Amino acid sequence: MTDLKVILSQDLKVKPKDNELKFGTMFTDHMFVMDYNKDEGWYDAKIVPYGEFSVEPSMMVFHYAQAIFEGLKAYRKHDGEILTFRAIDNFKRLNISAERMCIPRFDECMAKNALYELLRIEKDWVPSQKETSLYIRPFIIATDPYIGVRPSDTYKFFIILSPVGAYYPEGFKPVKIFVTDKYVRAASGGVGFAKTAGNYAASLYAAEEAKKMGYTQVMWLDCAKRKYVEEVGTMNIFFVIENILVTPDLSGGSVLAGITRDSVIKLANHFNMSVEERKISIDEVFDAHEKGKLKEVFGTGTAAVISPVSELNLNGKKITINEGKTGDISQFLYDKLTAVQYGMDKDPFNWVETI
C-alpha cells in the first residue's frame, strides 16, 4: 500500500510467555491509526508505536458514545504461518455499525490491507501454544471537541492488538446462565445489530446482578414481549433440540450478526446437520427440556468460539442441560471450527487467509 506511513518503535516490549497470557491486558508494540475530517475524508493512515495520545475532555465520544468496534483474531499455524479468519467480514460489519451510528464509512479493503501490514510488523506477537491467538480490536471514535448533540465532524480509526491465552486452558467449562425478563439488551429499531460501545455499557447492570446470584451471564429476551430468546451475554445462542440446531433469526434488527454464528451455521450445514434460524421462545426451550428434547445449549463468539451452557434459570425455575456437561455437537463444532481457523483442516469456505 503506497499511502500507509510506518513509524517503527525504537523501544520494543518484552513479550509475555504463551502460558502466561490472559485476555486483553497487554498490547503489542504498534497500532494502526487513521483520521477523518470533512474536507479530506479518511486520511493520514499510519502504523505508529502503540501508546498514549492526548485529547480534550470535551471530545464527543466521551459524552454521546459515537463509538464502534470489532473483534477478530490472528492465529499461528503449526508451520509458523499467520492466518486470519473472515477478516473482511469484520470490516464490512464495522461499516454497518458506522452507518447506524452516523460515522463515515471507510474502504474495507484498505483497512484489511493495513491490518495485514500491521500483523506482518507484529508477527512475533502471535503466540503459538494451542488455542492462543492475537486478538485484533479495530475501533472508531468521534473526536470533535464539542458538547452539542450532533454527529462529530472528525473521527479516529484505530487497530490495536493483544495476545490472548486459551479461553479454556483446562477444556470447556460450561456456564450457568440467568434468563432475564427484567432487563433488555436491545430493541427493535434501536442499535442492537451494531457493535457499538453503548450496547455494552447498557448490558453491565444485568450481568452484575446475575453474577451476584452465581451466574456467569444473562440470556436476553426480546424487549416487546420478553418471550423470544435473542442472545446470551455478548454471544449469539444456539439450542440443539432433538437433532436440529436452532438459533434466533436476525430479522428483528436487535440481534448482532455474529461471524462465529454464521460460521457455525455454514459448518453445520456442511456436515449435514439441520439448522433453523427462527424465533424461539424461552417457553419452547423449557418445554423441550421437559420433554427430553433439549440436548445442548451453547453461545458463539470470537473470544470463546463456543461456550457450552450447563444451566438456565428463569424466575427461579432451573434446568440443567446435558447433565451440566459439554455436548457432543458443541464439542464437534468447536473442534471443526478451530481446526479451520488454525489451518489444520481444509477450508472449504475460503475463510482463512495467510498474512
Ligand X SMILES: *Cc1c(COP(=O)(O)O)cnc(C)c1O
Calculate the CA dihedral of residues 59, 65, 68, 74 and round it to 10 degrees. 80
Which residue's CB is nearer to ligand X, number 30 or number 195? 195
Which stretches of 107-192 are assigned E, i.e. beta strand?
133-142, 155-164, 175-180
Tell me how far, at minimum, the Cβ of 255 lies from ligand X, in Å.
Answer: 7
| Amino acid in position 315 | N
Shortest Å distance, C-beta 88 to ligand X: 13
Nearest-approach distance from CB 218 to ligand X, in angstroms? 12
- Shortest approach of ligand X to residue 111 CB, angstroms? 16
Q: Which CB sits closer to ligand X, 176 or 195?
A: 195
Q: Exposed, middle or buried: residue 217 (CB in 10 Å: 0-12, 13-18, 19+)?
A: buried
Nearer to ligand X, 146 or 183 (CB): 183
Q: Which is nearer to ligand X, 127 or 301 (CB)?
A: 301
The amino acid sitting at 298 is F
Which is it for strands 41-49 and 30-37: parallel, antiparallel or unpaired? antiparallel
Q: Minimum Å distance from CB 85 to ligand X?
A: 10
In the bound state with ligand X, the residue whose beta carbon lies nearer, of 285 and 306, is: 306
Proportion of the chain in helix, strand, coil states, percent, rounded to 5: 25, 30, 45
The grid coordinates of residue 197 equal 460501545
CB of 301 to ligand X, least distance (A): 4
Which cell is 78 given? 503449526
CB of 282 to ligand X, least distance (A): 18
59 vs 140, which CB is nearer to ligand X?
140
Residue 289, phi then psi, degrees to nearest 5: -65, -45
CB of 29 to ligand X, least distance (A): 25
Residues 246 and 191 sit within 8 Å (Cβ to Cβ):
no
**Residue with smaller CB distance to ligand X, 97 or 143:** 97
Residue type, 168: Y
Work out the end-to-end distance of the chain between its first and last CA atoms, rounded to an integer number of angstroms: 14
Cell numbers that stand for 174 in this block: 460450561
CB nearer to ligand X: pick between 74 and 121: 74
- Contact positions vs ligand X (CB under 6 A): 71, 195, 231, 234-236, 256, 258-261, 300-302
In angstroms, how far apart are the furthest CA atoms of the chain? 64
Q: Are 320 and 311 in contact (CB under 8 A)?
A: yes
Instruction: Give bridge partners of residue 353 from the DSSP assignment.
Output: 84
Amino acid identity, residue 48? V
